[in-house]
Structure formats: C-alpha cells, structure tokens
C-alpha cells in the first residue's frame, strides 16, 4: 500500500485544486483548461456534470426504475463469483458493486463498516451513479469511456465523496456492448496501485462467465441433468493423475490446473501461495498463524479452508503436515530462485508486483516484503538502467529507483524522459 503520508499530501493538493476550479467552472458554465494536478478527463467530466449535479449533494439519487437484478445478464456470472468478491471486499476493506449499463447499482457486498459508510451516500442497490446524476466518479467514467478507471478523493465532483477512492472496470457482453461496471471502493488512505488490475481481472472473469453462459444455452441438455464434461465421461478419467498447477500471484492472480483456469477464493489462494513458497510444508499451528496471526479464528474455520482447497486441488494437500502433493510452478518462487543465483534480469522480468497485493495474512505479508526488498536491492545494485526502468513501472512511488535509472542513463538517452516523469510524479504527490 502506498505510504499514507504520500496519499494524504496527494489528497490535500487535489482538495486545493477542487476548491479553486469547481467554483470557476460552475460560474463560467463552460470548460476550463486542465492542468496539474488534475487530469484532463477529470476536469472535462466536472464541466459536463455541473449543469445537473450540485457538488454539495450528500448522496446519489435513487433510480426511478424497478429492481432489474434478477433479470440482468450479469446475475449468473456475478453470483458465481460472489464468494470471491465477498472475500476480497471483506479482507481488504472494500465495498464491491455491480451496476447496469445506465450506472444504477444492482448489487453490492462488503464488510459491515464499509457497507454502512457506502449506504450514507447511497452507494447501494438502486443508487444512480451515472455522470448526469452523481458527477465525476469512477463508475461514470468507466461507463462513458468503456475503459477501466480510477478516481481518487477530490477528483470526485461531489464533496461527500472526497474521502473515497474507487476502482472500476466495464463489463462487456459477448458482442462487445458494455453491460455494466464492476467497482471496488474504499477510503482514500487505503489506495493501492494494484487495486485497478485486480478489478480488471475480476471483470474479465465475469465476462468469461457471460461467454460460458452463452455457450451453455446453445448446448442440448443430457437426459437427467447437465451435460457431463469430456473429462468426466472419458474412459479411465477417474484414474488419471491430476495435472500440475501454475500459480501467478505477483501483481495479479491466476491459477491453472493442467492449463484450465481454477477459481479459488482469497483465503485459499493465500494457503496455496504459502504452500508453494514453502515446499517442506507447515504444521497446522504454524499455517494457521501465517494466515490469521492473532485474530480469533476457530480451528474448524481454519480446517474448513484447507479442506476446501484440498477438494479444489483434487486431493493435492497432505493431511498431517500441510504440504502440496501436486507439482506447482509459482512465479514468486521463480523470482526467489533467480535472486538466489544472482539472475537479476529474470527476477525483474518475472516480478509483476507485490505478492497477493490485497492480502493481509501475516505469512503472505512477510513473503511479500522479502520479495520486494530482494528485487529492489538487486535493481539498485545493478548497472543496467533497463532493470530500474522495468521495476519502476511496478513501484511508482519509489523515488530512489527512478533516481537510480536517471544516473545510469546517458544524457542523450531518450529513456531519461520516462524516469524523469516518474520521479517528478513522486515529488508532486
């Protein structure tokens, strides 16, 4: 997570810009040129919104239409992903929401505290969050542009939202039409540069579910129920050995089993990552501590999570000492091995961001810190500017890395502009 002091300063700068520009735009009734620190698309949205939205309003207006969630094409795919969305929202302190194509929220989930905060501004089913109703916000920008969007603190037009940061990705139907938006929102001080890749990944999973539903609707039904899968009906399938696992857990998360995607909720992903990074395994007590720390979690809850993972992996977790019994390739493990042999090029290439960035499990946090420190120190010790440039993409707030890149790049190297702009951005915030 970005340093809170850096986020606080960024919020202060934006609040000052909002206080200067929004009244001027409101008085002029027309577009005024943008400039740092406000992005042009934000200023343009402010100007479009002000004719219909009072920046002092306290909550989103309710939709005049009826509840359309049960009949929405997004209902099935989102319901199928609901456990994962609930876990991410509750564990990381977010509220998740899904809108329809008009910007009306149809579904939300999250922890009790965050849901109450969200309900105060009607960030709840039935609330309208399109630009003419609620001004500049990540949902309205994603709907308007068809691209993922982030809006931080005072980039929101409505002052009641300045305590929030929102990450959105549009959800496209099989024909390419935007059917709605998936949003992850939290308080400004929990802003994280990898929350946007996370919401993009989740939106892609919903889109895959839409495509899957479309293909199932075109299939003939088997007598007595669903069509059996090819793997289940093939001769000898029950005796086939489980294929290997592939875990990508740096920056974004993806698990495949024998090349097929495997969807796991966040807690089971944490267990899988820990077991992949420690092949010798864990005693039950140590794994429980690595997952929950001092939190009062019952033994039955912990054992249920391990059992669910074992079932998902077709028995791939040993029972007495928790360890993987299936072969696994893990990008975090590959980075560690590259660092051990002094192969900085491979380590930087494979390091796509923090380990399970939204996890707060103590064991994951410890490995995350070890990986980040190891790669960063290797980059700063190397005399290759491309390492610092590549790592700098994943560490936008790391001024020392950007300075290192500038020191290594010659005066005529066109790449100096990249490092200089990144360094300037850290100083502005």
* Token pair in block for residue 98: 């899904």
Q: Residue 225: its pLDDT value, please?
A: 36
Q: Are 300 and 265 in contact (CB under 8 A)?
A: no
pLDDT at 36: 62
- Give the integer Cα–Cα distance in Å for 278 and 135: 49
Q: Residues 17, 125: one domain?
A: yes
- What is the pLDDT, as a whole number, of residue 5? 81
Rounded Cα gap, residues 88 and 263, in angstroms: 13
CATH number at residue 175: 3.30.450.40
In order of 137, 239, 251, 366, the CA distances from 332 in angstroms are 35, 31, 10, 13
Please give the pLDDT value at position 293.
92
Which of residues 38 and 212 earns the better pLDDT score? 38
Asked if the structure places residue 281 within a domain, the reply is: yes
pLDDT greater at residue 299 or residue 104: 104
Domain annotation covers residue 150: yes
Domain count, the chain: 3
List pLDDT tens digits, range 11-62: 999 999 999 889 888 876 555 555 567 899 999 999 999 999 999 999 999 9
Model pLDDT, residue 32: 52
Specify if 225 maps to a domain: no
Report the alpha-carbon angle 102-90-282, nearest 5: 140
Each residue of 255-309: pLDDT tens digit?
A: 998 888 898 988 999 999 999 999 889 999 999 999 999 888 888 889 999 999 9
Residue 208 lies in a domain: yes
pLDDT-based confidence at 226, cuts 50/70/90?
very low
Within this chain, do residues 197 and 291 fall inside the same structural domain, yes or no?
Answer: no
Whole-number pLDDT of residue 424: 85
Do 61 and 205 lie in one domain? The reply is yes
Inform me whether the pLDDT recorded for 170 exceeds 60: yes
Report pLDDT digits (tens) over 129-148: 999 999 999 999 999 999 99
Phi, psi of 240 (to 5 degrees): -70, 140
The pLDDT assigned to 285 comes to: 93
Residue 79 domain-assigned (yes or no):
yes
229 within domain boundaries:
no
On the question of pLDDT at 228 being above 60, the answer is no
Percentage of the chain exceeding pLDDT 90: 56
Domain that residue 393 falls in: 383-429
**Banded model confidence at residue 231, pLDDT cuts 50, 70, 90:** very low
Q: Report which DSSP code applies to 60.
A: P
What gap in Å lies between CA 400 and CA 406, rounded to an integer? 10
Q: How far apart are CA 306 and CA 268, in angstroms?
A: 7
pLDDT of 222 > 60? The answer is: no
Does residue 238 register a pLDDT over 50?
Answer: no
Are 289 and 371 in the same domain? yes
pLDDT at 216: 54
Q: What is the pTM of this model?
A: 0.56
Contact in structure between 138 and 148 (CB atoms under 8 Å): no
Q: pLDDT band for position 109 (50/70/90)? A: very high
The answer to whether residues 79 and 202 belong to one domain is: yes
Tokens of 112: 């009790």
**Within-domain flag for 45:** yes
CATH code of the domain covering residue 278: 1.10.10.10
Q: Domain check: are 206 and 336 in the same one? A: no
The pLDDT of 318-330, averaged and rounded, is: 90
177 φ, ψ to 5°?
-75, 140
In this structure, the strands spanning 328-330 and 245-248 are parallel
What mean pLDDT is reported for the chain?
86
Question: Residue 138 to residues 22, 41, 275, 396: CA-CA distances in angstroms?
Answer: 18, 11, 37, 21
What pLDDT is stored for residue 34 in this prediction?
A: 52
Q: At a CB cut-off of 8 Å and minimum separation 6, what does 299 contact? A: 288
Residue 4 confidence (pLDDT): 76
């Amino acid at each position: 997570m970005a340093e809170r002091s850096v986020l606080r300063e960024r919020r202060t700068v934006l609040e000052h810009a909002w206080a200067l520009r929004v009244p001027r735009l409101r008085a002029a009734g027309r577009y005024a040129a943008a400039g740092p620190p406000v992005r042009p698309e934000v200023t343009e949205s402010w100007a479009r919104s002000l004719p219909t939205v009072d920046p002092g309003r306290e909550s989103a207006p309710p939709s005049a239409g009826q509840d359309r969630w049960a009949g929405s094409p997004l209902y099935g795919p989102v319901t199928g992903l609901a456990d994962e969305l609930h876990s991410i929202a509750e564990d990381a302190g977010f509220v998740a929401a899904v809108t329809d194509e008009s910007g009306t929220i149809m579904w939300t989930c999250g922890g009790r505290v965050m849901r109450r905060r969200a309900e105060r501004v009607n960030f709840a089913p039935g609330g309208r969050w399109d630009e003419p109703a609620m001004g500049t916000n990540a949902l309205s920008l994603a709907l308007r542009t068809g691209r993922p969007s982030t809006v931080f603190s005072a980039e929101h037009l409505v002052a009641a939202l300045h305590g929030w940061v929102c990450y959105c990705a549009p959800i496209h139907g099989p024909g390419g039409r935007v059917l709605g938006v998936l949003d992850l929102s939290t308080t400004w001080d929990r802003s994280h540069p990898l929350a946007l890749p996370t919401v993009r990944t989740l939106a892609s999973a919903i889109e895959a579910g839409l495509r899957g539903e479309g293909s199932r609707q075109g299939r003939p039904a088997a007598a007595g129920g669903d069509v059996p899968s090819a793997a289940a009906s093939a001769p000898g399938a029950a005796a086939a050995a489980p294929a290997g696992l592939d875990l990508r857990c740096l920056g974004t998360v993806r698990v495949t089993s024998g090349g097929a995607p495997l969807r796991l909720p966040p807690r089971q992903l944490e267990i899988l990552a820990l077991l992949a990074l420690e092949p010798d395994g864990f005693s039950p007590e140590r794994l429980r501590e690595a997952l929950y720390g001092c939190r009062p979690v019952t033994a039955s809850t912990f054992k249920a999570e391990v059992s669910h993972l074992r079932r998902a992996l077709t028995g791939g977790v040993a029972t007495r000492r928790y360890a993987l019994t299936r072969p696994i390739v893990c990008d975090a493990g590959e980075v560690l091995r590259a660092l051990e042999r002094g192969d900085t090029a491979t380590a930087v290439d494979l390091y796509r961001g923090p380990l399970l960035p939204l996890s707060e499990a103590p064991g994951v946090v410890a490995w995350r810190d070890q990986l980040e420190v190891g790669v960063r120190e290797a980059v700063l010790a190397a005399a290759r500017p491309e390492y610092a440039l590549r790592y700098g993409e994943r560490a936008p707030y790391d001024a020392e890395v950007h300075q290192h890149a500038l020191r290594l790049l010659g005066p005529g190297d066109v790449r100096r502009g990249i490092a200089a702009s990144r360094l300037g951005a850290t100083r502005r915030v």
